[in-house]
Chain A
């Protein structure tokens, strides 16, 4: 019986030890840099003096004292900021279309919903409306490359007008543009798509449609890549592929002479309202009523349809931070409670209560900043890894200044919230009660 107990005890102790070392290994990106810093602090005089001068030395030394708890706490913060960095960058990239959409662009769709078509004649009619600078009609092709799972975002467009409306976003070689205009089977490919499939100018590419079929029953259109465009901004979308509407329309077995929507550029954003009203009024009570909205709003509603990613991001980040807040808060409270006697001693030696208050806050702040900085760096690393793969479809996934600024504010906030109660306790701590508690 005792033998069995011993064996079980041994197994548990072994498991505990194994868990500890597994954890220490996993969390090494957090405590390794800290070790280095700790070494520098002790051995490079001016670093230590700088910390002493700013009253950060003792809080720093206090962080070192319980390595496992320190590693756990900072690791928790690290995870929270990793999630924060990655998800916020993702959310930003998803919304990039909204932010980058020019203010002078409108989208006209079928009022029923944007998957319903409009007659091609509408393009001509809308062009005539005052305030419309240029206009391009577009069709969703439902394209894929060889395998239906390999979706390619393909549009059949009025090739002559595409750059008139979207030229502010797209960077394209002049001769490539000319060649694309000339060749009815020409394909204009976004940089990201080209990268993904390793396509280059001159390649012959077949694209299938999962919606349309040709008169001969086939659903495959053959193309020649005539140009590859890139984005004029870092976050611009280069996932799209464009080809001539005529090539599309003439081959169709059904549903010809229909367009998906109109992309419109107005002469000035200030007259958008007027133009929107003029367009939608023109087709009111017709079999195909329209709804015209600013491109920003259109992109936004499009993203909303893809599931409210913003909400998911916000709630996951909030949940992570709430958990971290509780963990770190308890850890700090516990740490300060354990140091009651020491705080009493420091006060006896002549450290004022205010100074000790500040030191406790600084400690929680340093914990938050350390975990946060490493977490943010890790999320940046993860993002780099993900986006460097050519399969990755999202343009502009990165940690921008805004995300980093927000993260810094979050770190300070986290440090304050988790440190304030222990700091106040330390501030109020009476020397006599502190010293008699032993």
Chain B
């Protein structure tokens, strides 16, 4: 592993309580992610990939252990503090794009900037840059409901990078796309990683998608199984 440590998970546990039943997803999991990494996480359904990503993104709290981001602890932050931390540091990309149907492409991309103190002209510039990066400058005023899946995911990527976060968290970003479109999206993520230095953590079922990453971790029943830990 090279570079500065971005994430450090120290014996993180996660237990869900369902009625009287306790389901342990993770038991004392250790994990670290370096700045500039492009990590793919694979594993069977129910192995805890989304849960792990949620904990990395601070939308879910571990029930035990510690999560460090840039050497400061984040799992103990309050809901409001976490929201601000997410807005500043993380871009999210979802399987089903999760765009706002009442906003056009540019307004969707602008959404995270409404959380900043940027002026409208600064916002406009950032949105233009992000849209240009994903190759959708000419679709800025289109409604996203009229776009193809690949285009929608590109809008989502633009939204994720518009506030220039260090880290992108992607949960099966190509799960809903055909091979060709998926390759376009993955190349784009690779570009963001290589050229713009974004650290990326991507959950995927698809080995071909994982091949775009620098390294792949295989998760099974809450533990990383050593398959091909090429780092």
Interface residues in chain A, defined as those with a beta carbon under 8 Å from any beta carbon in chain B: 45, 48-49, 52, 57-58, 61-62, 64-65, 341-342, 345-354, 431-432, 435, 438
- The residues of B that contact A45 with a CB separation of less than 8 Å are 120
Q: Are A350's CB and B86's CB within 8 A?
A: yes
Q: Are B115's CB and A432's CB within 8 A?
A: no
Q: B112: which of A57, A65, A349, A435 is its contact (CB, 8 Å)?
A: A349
- The residues of B that contact A351 with a CB separation of less than 8 Å are 83, 115
Q: Are A432's CB and B92's CB within 8 A?
A: no
Closest chain A residue to B79, Cβ basis: A353
With contacts A431-B59, A438-B96 taken as known, whether A352 is within 8 angstroms of B102 at the C-beta atoms is no
With contacts A45-B120, A345-B94 taken as known, whether A350 is within 8 angstroms of B87 at the C-beta atoms is yes
B29 interfacial by beta-carbon distance below 8 Å: no
Closest chain A residue to B156, Cβ basis: A345
Q: Are B60's CB and A432's CB within 8 A?
A: yes
Least distance between A417 CB and chain B CB atoms (Å): 25
Q: Are B79's CB and A352's CB within 8 A?
A: yes
- Number of A-B residue pairs, CB cutoff 8 Å, is 64
Closest chain A residue to B89, Cβ basis: A350
Q: Are B115's CB and A65's CB within 8 A?
A: no
Least distance between B197 CB and chain A CB atoms (Å): 21
B54 interfacial by beta-carbon distance below 8 Å: yes
Q: Are B102's CB and A341's CB within 8 A?
A: no
Interface residues in chain B, defined as those with a beta carbon under 8 Å from any beta carbon in chain A: 54, 57, 59-60, 79-80, 83-84, 86-88, 92, 94, 96, 98, 100-103, 107, 111-112, 114-115, 120, 159
The 6 closest A-B pairs by CB, nearest first: A350-B87, A65-B102, A345-B98, A431-B59, A61-B102, A350-B86
Q: A348: which of B59, B102, B107, B120 is its contact (CB, 8 Å)?
A: B59
Closest chain A residue to B123, Cβ basis: A52
Q: What is the CA–CA distance of A48 and B88 in the complex, to the nearest angstrom?
A: 24
Least distance between B13 CB and chain A CB atoms (Å): 17
Q: What is the CA–CA distance of A45 and B60 in the complex, to the nearest angstrom?
A: 38
Q: Are A352's CB and B112's CB within 8 A?
A: no
Least distance between B213 CB and chain A CB atoms (Å): 22
Q: What is the CA–CA distance of A405 and B88 in the complex, to the nearest angstrom?
A: 43
Least distance between B142 CB and chain A CB atoms (Å): 14
- The residues of B that contact A348 with a CB separation of less than 8 Å are 57, 59, 86, 92
Q: A350: which of B60, B83, B98, B100 is its contact (CB, 8 Å)?
A: B83
- The residues of B that contact A62 with a CB separation of less than 8 Å are 102
Least distance between A59 CB and chain B CB atoms (Å): 10
Q: Are B102's CB and A432's CB within 8 A?
A: no
Q: Are B80's CB and A354's CB within 8 A?
A: yes
Q: Are A52's CB and B83's CB within 8 A?
A: no
Closest chain B residue to A55, Cβ basis: B114
Closest chain B residue to A45, Cβ basis: B120
- The residues of A that contact B87 with a CB separation of less than 8 Å are 349-350
Closest chain B residue to A65, Cβ basis: B102
- The residues of B that contact A431 with a CB separation of less than 8 Å are 54, 59-60
Least distance between B164 CB and chain A CB atoms (Å): 14
Closest chain B residue to A52, Cβ basis: B114
Q: What is the CA–CA distance of A341 and B101 in the complex, to the nearest angstrom?
A: 12
Q: Which of A52, A64, A349 has the most CB of B within 10 A?
A: A349
- The residues of A that contact B88 with a CB separation of less than 8 Å are 350
Q: Which of B96, B100, B107 has the most CB of A within 10 A?
A: B100
Q: What is the CA–CA distance of A104 and B54 in the complex, to the nearest angstrom?
A: 77
Closest chain B residue to A352, Cβ basis: B83
Least distance between B90 CB and chain A CB atoms (Å): 8
Closest chain B residue to A347, Cβ basis: B83
- The residues of A that contact B112 with a CB separation of less than 8 Å are 349-350
Could you list 7 further interchain pairs (A-B, Cβ under 8 angstroms) beyond the known A350-B112, A353-B79? A45-B120, A61-B102, A341-B98, A346-B111, A347-B83, A349-B86, A351-B115
Q: Are B115's CB and A350's CB within 8 A?
A: yes
Closest chain B residue to A354, Cβ basis: B80
